Every structure is written in structure tokens, then in C-alpha cells.
């Protein structure tokens, strides 16, 4: 059976979801044959290994720049030499985001390299190094590859120190369609992280494929995949002729049969699910729901079949497409267009420095903002750092020790030595202590430059912690070193650790080129870039919403910036859009509780834009905001800043102008998978309703779709159900235990008590008939609660031993005719499950 599993591309770590099909086990080779093959393997490896290289570099990430600055954060993979002058083929996922590429040949020679061509669809790329006289690999023919033949994988698994490692297995299967646009070779030769881009060779020493991924799951072993040699040759030829892979374009979206999806042999072709307008397929008359049977002479039943067939044609060529249209089989000739290549920005050769070591030449480390520095051993690796840098921890690359530095800004300089020692001895903020601490040493060390308190303690059975505390400039600096018992009792190691701790200084020399600054404190604006191509600068202290949305907030969440992106519908204009949004706002509040200023025309990101300022209140504090509207590259962008109206002033206006001036839209940085994003305000009807049914308490209601309601945790029909909108709600409370007369008496007593306690609380009561024949009690309340005036109508009635209390509340601020009508209509839709009720 098929199961959703995880596919791991080897090299730069990439996870892909794929549908796994059952694989038939291959016959086991005879002992005699195995012995013969084993005798050949060393000679084969000796022949092929010089053509395989190891590739290492720094990973690049726009989302997390710390990946590039950590000297131990490296990515590696493998490559195969295809030309003696230094042309190497590897996987695209290995080098796509790799900086400062270094290539090491099998004899240990090191070269600087750069990615020259990348094709993500095939997952192949070229790396160029400045070399001559290299040994190119010999490529086999795909037609010669046989299931069951012995193969070897050469690569750089797990660690760069293991480059040119060899694993041996067999070809387990051919024409596998897993997580790839093209067919793959399956092998049981062990493929591990770092093998990506390496050679899969036969027993002639010929390359039959480029290793690309393995299947990773508990209990699964030796299930790897390689790109077949004919696909490699196809891509290399396109690189040579055009600098990219030219792919033919029909303009079809195709859908596989159910059998093909789950891996069963399919008897049908591919259904045409969509035909692009003005595409070659449309011009040839291909229509939706026709079944594509073959491309040229190649039958196609899966998407991989289709891709394999179409790759044999170039843009501009014509091909016969056989289709099943109803009961008829027809052939249509299509003149192929060219598929737009996905743009890939090649990483600069020397971005972030010329060395693969991000910290080359740095022998000291420190924080310029908090003013400290110390020695920087080659094996020191940053583990964690707080957002503003006041807390940071390190580990040793060999796992021998851990180091933590914490800076407390709120500390008096006149802390006495004894108080400082007590503070350190009782300090439970250690990242490493595990309780049960025994103090082994405690002293105040006097030295001219920076005296400190020192506490050495044993934590648990194996842990030893040395803590040093320094008071300087209103700050307490705490430095902690953790080592195991084995390291603690090693005197030479102790000398090394003490030397590291002794190097800690309460100063930072900006002129020292050997000193690495790890400060993350930033008082400048930070640029946020979205997948919609929009960039905007906001103050450094602002934080993005934790849900990953395009909303940003200041420290106390009183001010916010929201970014909303939708597609511009055909015929829509900037003026129509603004009128629609303004009308929606004005329809939500009554005139006394809202304000909309006249739009101001601007230019943003090189296109016309309008600024609309507004404010609203429910009766207490006023909330204000400004929205910026513009349309660019078929998308509508709204950038909205909201804030308390009391914050308005020159300072806020300057912040707005600065933010607007920073806005830019770059089409090249847009997510390539973006499609049409409907603006819901264009199609939303505020009067559209949906049916709510409470079977336990025998009633239904038709509620406006835009109202909100919280579902019960267990999914049961609740005793109390509330439907909410801005400034109001409709709530239904039910009771099947109390007598109806008692419920009415309690309600009457409650209303009287509220009025007696506060004369501003006014109510009227009357007996009414609901839904034609249901006797009810009605209370109408008007009151101002916490400066928010509202009107509340309460209905009490009973039916079949179930008592109902329905409360309709609406604040005066949103008491427009439309909102009041919507609320009343929702109530009059009340219907008992057996059919009695409102209309």
C-alpha cells in the first residue's frame, strides 16, 4: 500500500513529501557472482574516483542571516567532473543557495568554485573551477542499465571528512516516478546526507546516474534514487547550447488517473483539466476533459511519462498529440511554445568574504553594544542568543565544554564583594546547573582592570560549573563555564578553560580587526520582505505577529501595521477599490462614531497610490488609522497603520512618511507559485446567511455569514450559543430544569435590581406574541457601560419544557439601519426544529 512518507534530498537538507509505492524485492546474487564482482570493485573505484569531487560552502538564507555568519554552519555535497577544464555536474539543491564554494578533488587539491548553471526542475547544476587536466567521468548509456546489476555510489556522506566514500549495491528498479519531474533509478547502495550530486557507477566505472535523494523512515534501509544518465546528458546538452534547459510548452494542466496516483498500472491517459488561453494547445483546439493518450510516438499515462516524452522536443517544433474525445480518438498537431524558465539568482562567488570560514582572521569575539570581549577559540560555536543579545550561549565543537554569558542592565555599581558572591552562589539562572549544587570554591578576585567574583560548584554527579560575575557601568556580567568531571580533573584542560575565562574583558575595541562583533542589538529600521514582492522598513523594536502573518506591532501592541495583498480583478480600478473599502467602513459605524478623511494622492513603488485616514469609536477611546492603497503587477497592496487617536501628532506622521517612503515591490522576489488571490470584499454579501441548527434544544437560526461564533470543545450543541459581530451579538440561552414562571420572575427581579442600583439603567417590559402563537416576555434596555452606550432586547419564552432566553445587543456606535435590520432578521428567523417559529 502507498503511504505518505518523507523524502530527503542529500546535500543541503531538503525534505519533500512523496507517495511511496510498494517495491518488489530483487533476486539475491549467487555467491560465485558476488565473489567475482567483489574482486572487480577496487579496480572500478580506482578508475572512477578521480572523476568525483567533494563540494562544500556556506549556506545562504534571506530568512536567517545567522546561518551565513556561523563558521560551523556549512553545507556539503558531491559532484562529478564532466570536462577536464573544471566543469562539474551536481545537484541543484546542493549549490542553489551556497556561497563561497570550495571543491576538493580525490587527490586532496582544493579549488574555489562557483555555480554557473542551475536547473531546479531536473535538480541538476554546473559548478566551474579554474583547473586543467582533470579526469572527466565516462557516462554509460541508459539503455545498458539493467535491474539487478551491481553498482557503486561515490560521494561525501555525513561529514566532509568522509569525502569519496564508496557504497555498493544493485540497481533495484528503473523508471521510478517519485518526487521528481523525470524518471529515476532506484538503488540499494547506501546514500546518505552529502551524497547528493555524486556518481552512481556500474562495474565498468561508467556513470549511470547522479545520486539525488533517499527514502528516510523508521525501519527502511538502502532505498536511494539517482537521476538517470540520459536526463543528465539532456540537461548538460541544453546548458552547453543555451545556458539553460529549453523546455517545450503546450499550455495544458493534466490530471493523472486514480490508478496512476497510487502506483497501479493505468489503462487511461491524462485528463486535460485546464487549457491556458492563447497557448499552443488552445490554438490546436485541445479542450478541457479530453484524455491525452500519446505525445508523438510515446504513450503517456502519468505526468512523468508526459515530461519524459515532451523533453525530446524543442520549442518551435511540431508534435502530434493523440487524444480521446468522448468516444472518438483524434490527433491534433501542436506547434510547441517555450516554457518560461524559473528564474534562479546565482549566489555571488565571494559574498560574505572570500573564505569559506566566515570568521577567518577573527581571534577574539565580543559584543559592541554591551561592551565585552574575549578570546575566540576555533572550536567555539554559538548555540543560542537572545533577541537583543543580553544572553548568549556557546558550545565547544568537540562537546568538551559549554559557555554562557548574561548581561543584566539593572544593577548598581556599589554591589559589595560579599553581596556579589552571594548572588552568584544563589543564582539559579544557570543554563546548565541541574540542582543539588555543592560549592567547591568561592572567592573575590581583585585585579586592577576588572575584579570579579568567582564560584566553582559541582552540579549532580558529572557537572562542574565555574561562574564569574563582574559589575561595571550599571550592569552585572555573568560568565559561566560548564565542563564534565572528566574535563574538570584534567589539569591541562583546566588551564585552557581558565585562560579562556581570564581573557574576558569589559571592553570592546572597534578598531581591532581580529575582534568579531556578535552584537544583534539594532536601533535602525528593519526591512521586512514578503512573498508578494513587497518590502517595507519598520522600527527595529517592532515585532512580526507570531502567527507568521503580515502584521507587525510595537512593544505595547498599541500601534500596528497590517499588509494585505489580493489580485486586481479584470476591470477593477484604484478608485473603485477605495470607494468599496470606504463604503464598507462607513456602513459599519453610525455617523457620530466614525470619521473618514478625504483621500490624499501619492506615488508609491513607482505607481499612483491613495492614502485614506479614518477613525472610529464604540463610545470610549477612539482608534485611528491610515491605509495606503496601490495596484502594481496585477496585485492590490493595502498597507494599514492603526493606532490610538491620542497618539496622532507630528512624530507619528513622520513615522508614517518614513514607512511609506521605504515601500518597494520587486516582481523578481515574488513567490513563483502565486496565483489569483480573490479580494473577498468584492464578492462578500453582508446579508448572506447560513443555517445554525441546535438539535439538542430544538431550534434553528439563520445567521449572517460574517458573524463569528465559537464552537464547543466536544462538538455538542451548547446550552448557551452566542453569535458576535463588531459592537453586538445575538445570544440564545436554554434551560430545561427551571419552571418558566420562575425564570420570568428572576429576570424581572434582575432588571429591577439593575435599575435600582443605577438610575441610568432604563428598561421596559411587555408581553408579546412571537412566531404567531408563542407567548413571550420582552425587555428593552438602554444603558451606557464603561462609556459605551448600547441597546439590548431580551425575549423569554418556553416550548416543550425548554425555556429560551434570546438576547439581542447592539452598541449605539454600530446601530445603523442595516445592522439593526440584520440583527432583527436573525432573531425572526428563529424556528423550532419541528417547524414552528419565525419566518
Q: List, in order, residues 6 or more apart from 576 with CB less than 8 Å away.
A: none
Residue 76 a catalytic site member: no
Active-site choice (49, 60, 76, 93): 93
Contact 476, 407 (CB under 8 A): yes
CA 694 to chain centroid, in Å, comes to 39
* Cβ density class 748-771: b for 16+ within 10 Å, e for less: eeebeeeeeeeeebebebeeeebb
Looking at residue 161, the DSSP 8-state letter turns out to be G
Alpha helices in 201-335 (DSSP H): 229-242, 258-262, 280-283, 303-310
Q: Which of 729, 701, 737 is nearest to 717 (CA)?
A: 701
Alpha helix ranges (H) inside 610-684: 650-662, 680-683
Of the CA atoms within 13 Å of residue 144, those in its CB half-sphere come to 14
Q: How far apart are CA 447 and CA 678, in angstroms?
A: 69
User: What own/partner pairs with CB < 8 Å and gap ≥ 24 does 340-346 have?
Assistant: 340/249, 341/244, 341/245, 341/247, 342/120, 342/121, 342/672, 343/668, 343/672, 344/96, 344/118, 344/120, 345/668, 346/114, 346/115, 346/116, 346/118
Rounded CA gap, 56 and 98, in Å?
8
* 3-state DSSP of 663-711: CEECHHHCCCCCCCCCCHHHHCCCCCEEEEEECCCCEEEEEECCCECCC
Joined grid coordinates for residue 83: 570536462
Strands (E) in 518-674, as ranges, are: 526-529, 534-538, 543-544, 551-553, 560-567, 594-596, 600-604, 607-617, 622-632, 635-644, 664-665
CB-facing half-sphere around the CA of 448: CA atoms within 13 A? 0
> Residue 243 and residue 230: Cα distance in Å, rounded?
18
In the numeric block, the cell 569525502 is attached to 163
Degrees (nearest 5) of the Cα angle 721, 725, 728? 80
Closest to 149 measured CA to CA, from 192, 190, 200: 200
Tell me whether residue 123 is one of the annotated catalytic residues.
yes
Q: CA-CA distance, 154 to 333, in Å (whole number)?
A: 45
The cell numbers describing 123, all together, are 535538480
* Rounded Cα gap, residues 216 and 8, in angstroms: 6
User: Collapsing DSSP states into helix, strand and coil, what is residue 42?
Assistant: helix
The length of the chain in residues reads 839
Measure the CA–CA gap between 686 and 442, rounded to whole angstroms.
72
Q: Per the residue annotation, which of 119, 123, 367, 390 is the catalytic one?
A: 123
Cell of 655: 513615522
Is 31 part of the annotated catalytic residue set? Answer: no
- Tally of CB atoms within 10 A around 67: 16
Q: In which residue are the cell numbers 534501509 written?
A: 221
Catalytic residue chosen out of the listed positions 196, 266, 430, 616: 196
Collect all residues with Cβ–Cβ distance below 8 Å to 19 and sequence separation of at least 6.
2, 3, 4, 178, 261, 262, 263
Residues belonging to the active site: 93, 123, 196
Amino acid at each position: 500500500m502507498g503511504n505518505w512518507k518523507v523524502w530527503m534530498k542529500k546535500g543541503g537538507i531538503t525534505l519533500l513529501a512523496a507517495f511511496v509505492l510498494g517495491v518488489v524485492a530483487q533476486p539475491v546474487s549467487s555467491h560465485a557472482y558476488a565473489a567475482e564482482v567483489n574482486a572487480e570493485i577496487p579496480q572500478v573505484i580506482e578508475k572512477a574516483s578521480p572523476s568525483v569531487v567533494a563540494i562544500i560552502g556556506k549556506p545562504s538564507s534571506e530568512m536567517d542571516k545567522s546561518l551565513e555568519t556561523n563558521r560551523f554552519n556549512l553545507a556539503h555535497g558531491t559532484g562529478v567532473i564532466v570536462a577536464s577544464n573544471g566543469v562539474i555536474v551536481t545537484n541543484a539543491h546542493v549549490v542553489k543557495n551556497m556561497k563561497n564554494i570550495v571543491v576538493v578533488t580525490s587527490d586532496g587539491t582544493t579549488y574555489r568554485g562557483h555555480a554557473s548553471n542551475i536547473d531546479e526542475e531536473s535538480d541538476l547544476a554546473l559548478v566551474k573551477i579554474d583547473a586543467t587536466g582533470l579526469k572527466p567521468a565516462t557516462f554509460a548509456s541508459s539503455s545498458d542499465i539493467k535491474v539487478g546489476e551491481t553498482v557503486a555510489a561515490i560521494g561525501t556522506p555525513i561529514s566532509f571528512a568522509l569525502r569519496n566514500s564508496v557504497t555498493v549495491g544493485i540497481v533495484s528498479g528503473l523508471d521510478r516516478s517519485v518526487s521528481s519531474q523525470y524518471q529515476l533509478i532506484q538503488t540499494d547502495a547506501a546514500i546518505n546526507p552529502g551524497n547528493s550530486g555524486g556518481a552512481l557507477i556500474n562495474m565498468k566505472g561508467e556513470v549511470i546516474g547522479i545520486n539525488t535523494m533517499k527514502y528516510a523512515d523508521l525501519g527502511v534501509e538502502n532505498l536511494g534514487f539517482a537521476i538517470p544518465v540520459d536526463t543528465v546528458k539532456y540537461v548538460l546538452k541544453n546548458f552547453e547550447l543555451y545556458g539553460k534547459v529549453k523546455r517545450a510548452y503546450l499550455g495544458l494542466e493534466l490530471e493523472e488517473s486514480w490508478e496512476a496516483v497510487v502506483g497501479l498500472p493505468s489503462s487511461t491517459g491524462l485528463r486535460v483539466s485546464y487549457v491556458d488561453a492563447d497557448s499552443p494547445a488552445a490554438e490546436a483546439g485541445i479542450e478541457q476533459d479530453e484524455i491525452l493518450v500519446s505525445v508523438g510516438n510515446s504513450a503517456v499515462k502519468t505526468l512523468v511519462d508526459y515530461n519524459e516524452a515532451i523533453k525530446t522536443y524543442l520549442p518551435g517544433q511540431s508534435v502530434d498529440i493523440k487524444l480521446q474525445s468522448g468516444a472518438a480518438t483524434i490527433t491534433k498537431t501542436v506547434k510547441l511554445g517555450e516554457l518560461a524558465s524559473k528564474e534562479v539568482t546565482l549566489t555571488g562567488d565571494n559574498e560574505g568574504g572570500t573564505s569559506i570560514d566566515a570568521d577567518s582572521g577573527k581571534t577574539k569575539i565580543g559584543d559592541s553594544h554591551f561592551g565585552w570581549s574575549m578570546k575566540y577559540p576555533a572550536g567555539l560555536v554559538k548555540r543560542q542568543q537572545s533577541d537583543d543579545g543580553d544572553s548568549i550561549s556557546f558550545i565547544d565543537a568537540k562537546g568538551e565544554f559549554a559557555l554562557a554569558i548574561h548581561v543584566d542592565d539593572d544593577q548598581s555599581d556599589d554591589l559589595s564583594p560579599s553581596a556579589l558572591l552571594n548572588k552568584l552562589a544563589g543564582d539559579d539562572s544557570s543554563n546548565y546547573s541541574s540542582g543539588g549544587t555543592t560549592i567547591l570554591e568561592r572567592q573575590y578576585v581583585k585585579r586592577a582592570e576588572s575584579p570579579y567574583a568567582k564560584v566553582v560548584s559541582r552540579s549532580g554527579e558529572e557537572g562542574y560549573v565555574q561562574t564569574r560575575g563582574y559589575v561595571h557601568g550599571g550592569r552585572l556580567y555573568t560568565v559561566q563555564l560548564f565542563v564534565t568531571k572528566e574535563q574538570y580533573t584534567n589539569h591541562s584542560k583546566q588551564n585552557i578553560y581558565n585562560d579562556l575565562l581570564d581573557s574576558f574583558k569589559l571592553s570592546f575595541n572597534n578598531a581591532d580587526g581580529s575582534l568579531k562583533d556578535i552584537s544583534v542589538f539594532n536601533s535602525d529600521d528593519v526591512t521586512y520582505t514578503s512573498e508578494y514582492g513587497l518590502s517595507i522598513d519598520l522600527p527595529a523594536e517592532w515585532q512580526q505577529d507570531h502567527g507568521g502573518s503580515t502584521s507587525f506591532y510595537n512593544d505595547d501592541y498599541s500601534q500596528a501595521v497590517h499588509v494585505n495583498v489580493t489580485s486586481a480583478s479584470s476591470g477593477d480600478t484604484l478608485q473603485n477599490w477605495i470607494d468599496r473599502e470606504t463604503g464598507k467602513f462607513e456602513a459599519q459605524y453610525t455617523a457620530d462614531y466614525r470619521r473618514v478623511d478625504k483621500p490624499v494622492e501619492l506615488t508609491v513603488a513607482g505607481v499612483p497610490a491613495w492614502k485614506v485616514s479614518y477613525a472610529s469609536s464604540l463610545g470610549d477611546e477612539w482608534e485611528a488609522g491610515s491605509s495606503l492603497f496601490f495596484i502594481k503587477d496585477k496585485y492590490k497592496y493595502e498597507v494599514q497603520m492603526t493606532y490610538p487617536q491620542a497618539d496622532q501628532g507630528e512624530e507619528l506622521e513622520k513615522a508614517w512618511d518614513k514607512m511609506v517612503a521605504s515601500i518597494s515591490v520587486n516582481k523578481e522576489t515574488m513567490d513563483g507559485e502565486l496565483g489569483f488571490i480573490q479580494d473577498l470584499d468584492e464578492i462578500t454579501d453582508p446579508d448572506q446567511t447560513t443555517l445554525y441548527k441546535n438539535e439538542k434544544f430544538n431550534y434553528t437560526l439563520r445567521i449572517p455569514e460574517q458573524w463569528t461564533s465559537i464552537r464547543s470543545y466536544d462538538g455538542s450543541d451548547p446550552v448557551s450559543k452566542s453569535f458576535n459581530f463588531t459592537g453586538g451579538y445575538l445570544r440564545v440561552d436554554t434551560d430545561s430544569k427551571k419552571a418558566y414562571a420562575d425564570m420570568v420572575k428572576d429576570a424581572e427581579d434582575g432588571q429591577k435590581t439593575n435599575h435600582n442600583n443605577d438610575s441610568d439603567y432604563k428598561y421596559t417590559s411587555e408581553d408579546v406574541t412571537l412566531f404567531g402563537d408563542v407567548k413571550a416576555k420582552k425587555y428593552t434596555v438602554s444603558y451606557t457601560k464603561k462609556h459605551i452606550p448600547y441597546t439590548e432586547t431580551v425575549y423569554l419564552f418556553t416550548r416543550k419544557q425548554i425555556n429560551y432566553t434570546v438576547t439581542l445587543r447592539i452598541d449605539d456606535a454600530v446601530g445603523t439601519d442595516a445592522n439593526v435590520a440584520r440583527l432583527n432578521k436573525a432573531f425572526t428567523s428563529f424556528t423550532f426544529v419541528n417547524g414552528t417559529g419565525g419566518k
